[in-house]
Amino acid sequence: MKAKWFILLVIMTIVLGLSGSLLAGSVTTQVTNNSYEDSFPRIKADHIVWQGRNDGDWEIFLYNIATGVTTQITDNDYDDLSPQTDGSYIVWQGFKDHEWDIFLWNGSEVQAISDRSAQDASPQIANGRIVWTSEPFGEEFVGPSEVVLYDVETQTRPVLSADVDPGNTLDDGGPRINDEVVIWIQTDDQDNTTLYMYDLSNGSITESPEYVWRDSSQRDGIVSVLSRHDGHDRELFVYSSNSRRYYQVTNNSLDDRYPSISANHVAWMAAGEIFVAEYEYLGLMSPMDNARLPNGTTPTFAWEGIGYDGFKIEFSGSPSFPTLEASVFPSGEGTWTSQTSFTPTEEQWKAIREIQEGNGTVYWRVEAKDAEGGVSFSEVRNFTIDEPGAIIRAAVEPDAKDTTVGTSCFIETVLSWN
């Protein structure tokens, strides 16, 4: 397989006069405040799990965002490490009786789910299914490692790698799982690797020359979270692959590290404690402000909303949007759309054009509603519609990965060749 090289050029330039370094509506909660170290949080839905070094060994803890209640899941005399959650169950590896085993918390009790003489480690979970690496051992041998899948509902425990390595002569490890597939890497004695993919819907295994894995604790849909140094300490930023922009979540005097993201919540560790932030962001994407739109073409209005589940788009001849003069889509009390773009129908575009005919300029904004019913408004932009034959300026955002992070601008250029 040909080698592919990637060069990532990151140029940071200081931009003066910028404001609003934090995301609007970002609220941080300190989850732990104790005398021992808490580290490596993972978040899914309302569950945050982590390991805390309590009474001389590592234990597993759970925080429920909805209730604000912290629960200690394990309390024993051996190390419990690497907790993962799918929002319903928690899995981790525990060093019991000088052997690493995989444990499951099902909401009420803890049970061991690995059942053989092996070093079982690095569990991953999705939708009630768990995968891990298992390295069999005996008095005179160790390994090679295998990949095991456990289903909480059926309690079945197949060794996935046995189908492609029946004699267990090769190392299979590094499994990852989502709602659709399990992937893992097989390595032979010459360090040649093969990537396998197990289809959870039909049980088929295929060899994949290349597979882009987009699921991780630091990514949820189009949004990723990362820890970066701002010149003073490490802060957290979320990056949207939709708008290709970075938004700052934290701004404190601590080193914020090892973030994990789920929906509009980010969990992380700093100074040996666990924190979680709930954030919201609403921003317009296109057309750009002061745009001149071509006559005879109906544009698409696009925006980005993180932490919101309903939207309305408003048009007015005044930037103050008087209630009786604004055109709102979708119309109707309590009517919202989950879409983040709007292309007017012929009739709707005619109504918007009439706003310009009466005022010369059309102003637009987006109203957003969160899960608790709170309402926010975006910035206000404006546009005009040109007459036929007029010279048109760009009506969409420039196609550049130009992003603002607090008071800094990151420009990313990615080059690749075979």
Q: In the prediction, which pLDDT does 22 show?
A: 57
Token readout for 186 is: 């097989």
Q: In the prediction, which pLDDT does 325 show?
A: 73
Question: Residue 235 domain-assigned?
Answer: yes
Q: In the prediction, which pLDDT does 141 show?
A: 60
Q: Are residues 353 and 341 in the same domain?
A: yes
Indicate the SS3 state at residue 42.
strand
Q: Are residues 269 and 413 in the same domain?
A: yes
Q: Are residues 98 and 179 in the same domain?
A: yes
Residues in CB range of 363: below 8 A, 6 or more apart: 315, 316, 317, 318, 319, 321, 380, 381, 382
Domain closes at, from 208, 228, 262: 208
Q: Are residues 343 and 234 in the same domain?
A: no
Q: Are residues 114 and 160 in the same domain?
A: yes
Question: Residue 65 domain-assigned?
Answer: no
Q: In the prediction, which pLDDT does 211 show?
A: 64
Q: Are residues 123 and 156 in the same domain?
A: yes
Number of other residues whose CB lies within 10 A of the CB of residue 245: 20
Q: What averages of pLDDT result for each successive group of 10 residues across the chain (418 residues)?
A: 30 28 76 97 97 95 97 97 98 94 97 90 97 84 88 95 91 94 93 94 88 77 90 92 86 95 95 95 92 90 92 95 84 89 93 88 95 91 78 46 36 31
Question: Residue 197 domain-assigned?
Answer: yes
Q: Are residues 145 and 202 in the same domain?
A: yes
Q: Are residues 276 and 287 in the same domain?
A: no
Question: Residue 297 domain-assigned?
Answer: yes
Question: Residue 298 domain-assigned?
Answer: yes
For residue 181, give its domain range: 78-208
Q: Are residues 261 and 292 in the same domain?
A: no
Q: Are residues 243 and 351 in the same domain?
A: no
Q: In the prediction, which pLDDT does 131 show?
A: 98
What is the DSSP track for 344-406?
--HHHHHHHHHHHHHHS-EEEEEEEE-TTS-EEE---EEEEEPPTTPPPPP-S--SS-EEEET
Q: Are residues 184 and 138 in the same domain?
A: yes
Q: In the prediction, which pLDDT does 249 show?
A: 92
